[in-house]
Every structure is written in C-alpha cells, then in structure tokens.
Amino acid sequence: SVADMKGLKQGYLKITVVTTAKYVIPRLLGPFCQRYPGVEISLKVTNHSGVLERLSENKDDLYILSQVPDEPDVKSHPFLANPLVVLANHDHPLAKEKNIPIQQLAEQPFITRESGSGTRAYVQQLFDAHKITPKVKMELASNEAIKQAIAGGLGISILSRHTIALEGASGQIAILDVENFPIPCHWYVIHLAGKQLSVVAQTFLEYLQTEGKQIAEDTTW
Ligand code: PGA
C-alpha cells in the first residue's frame, strides 16, 4: 500500500461523518490505529448539512455521508450500505404484522430528525412520493434520543439500521416490516476534488474500502 511504500509513521487525520456513521467508523479506527500507532485522528460527527458546511470550508481530509453533493466538486467512493428502517417499540401492535402498507405509517405518532439531517430528507422524499403526511409528535436531533423516545412509547421513527447494530432488533426496539422499506441508502467517502490527500488520508481511504468495509460488514448486518 501507499503507507508501506512511504513508511507511514505519523500524521494527523481529520474526518467528519454523518450521525449514522458514528455507529460504524469508531470501531474501524481501532485496527487502523493499532497498525499505525503514530497516526492521530480527529473524528467529528454532525448531520448532513453540518458535513457539507465543513466540506465547503475545507476543514477535513475525508467526509462520510449518504447524498453526494453536486457542489463543491468532490471525488466520491462508495463505502457501505446504510438502509433506513422503520423502528417501533417492541410491544407495538404493528411489530407482529407482515407487509404493513406504507400508508399505515400516517396513523402513527412519528418522531422525526431535525431539518438538515440526510435521514430526514430521505424519509421526506419517500413520504412525498406516497403522499403521506406523518403525524409528527416530536423532533429530535439525535438518533440515540429518538431510540429512547421509541423505547418510552412516544411513537415510531425511521432511522439507519446501523443505529441499533449493537443491541440488534431483539432489544426494546423492533424493525417493522413495512412495504417500500428499507430505504436503500449508501454511504460514500468523499473529499474535495482539488485536494491533494495526505499519505495518512490516502491510506485510511484505502483501508475503509477494503478491510474496514469487511470488518463493518462482518460485525453489523
Ligand atoms: P444524518 O445522516 O441524518 O445524520 O444527516 C444522513 C446520511 O446518512 O448522510
């Protein structure tokens, strides 16, 4: 790899990822940092618009998100599937149903992510396409807080399946079997097209697309 050729010993790597990717990326940093102990990493987690803002200000080496922007000019590399699923309390009556028509979601108290969230944008697109107006009960800017709200019986939501990877669907939160789900999203690693990547950034990008991807696929879904 590039790293071996150049004898990578130390360096600084700055990454910003969307909130859904925080369920995967920190775990992948473990083996990478063990291999390159001199590399120091700063990882920022924000929503889709937060990532775009940092990208436009050239704040980081690499970014991870689902919707690749048209502007500014970026190079993008497909990384991992990020399916969006309908989540409900395990005791919810719909948890036992199969092939729930998507229209039924309009009947349920709904917990939505904040505006600026890519997850929210995907959900909005699907709802618009099916002319569904959700009964929004609450808006929360945190996947974890939404999970807690679901566990507390406040309503249902649509989040990345990665948000429940650690506990699985066997815990307090169930994945509902709704028609048109999961929404098939995909994460991309991107960087400014005009930016010369550092050896560390190039090495991490390679790692993500090969071993990192493998580890994530083996340890998630
Ligand atoms: P977000 O993530 O909801 O945290 O903005 C969206 C994405 O996957 O790009």
ipTM computed for the complex: 0.98
Q: With contact defined as beta carbons under 8 Å apart, do 147 and 87 qualify?
A: yes
Predicted local confidence at residue 101, as pLDDT: 98
* Distance from Cα 21 to the centre of ligand 1, integer Å: 8
Residue 155, sorted as left (phi over 0), alpha (psi -120 to 50) or beta, turns out to be left
Q: Nearest 5°: phi and psi at 30?
A: -55, -65
Q: With contact defined as beta carbons under 8 Å apart, do 162 and 168 qualify?
A: no
Atom of ligand 1 nearest to the CA of 160: 8
pTM above 0.90, yes or no: yes
pLDDT under 50 in the chain at which residues? none
Predicted local confidence at residue 20, as pLDDT: 97
Give the single-character DSSP code of 75.
Answer: E
Q: Nearest 5°: phi and psi at 160?
A: -60, 140
Atom 6 in ligand 1: residue holding the nearest Cα: 118
* Distance from Cα 11 to the centre of ligand 1, integer Å: 28
* Distance from Cα 36 to the centre of ligand 1, integer Å: 29
Burial of 198 (0-12, 13-18, 19+ CB in 10 A): middle
Q: Nearest 5°: phi and psi at 61?
A: -80, -45
Distance between CA 153 and CA 137 in Å, rounded?
11
- Identify the CA nearest to 76 among candidates 198, 184, 206, 192: 192
* Distance from Cα 130 to the centre of ligand 1, integer Å: 22
Distance between CA 119 and CA 157 in Å, rounded?
11
Predicted local confidence at residue 169, as pLDDT: 66
**Residue 132 corresponds to which tokens in the numbers above?**
């569904």
Predicted local confidence at residue 205, as pLDDT: 96
- Identify the CA nearest to 165 among candidates 90, 217, 94: 217
Cβ < 6 A, ligand 1 pocket: 18-20, 47-48, 65-67, 82, 113, 117-119
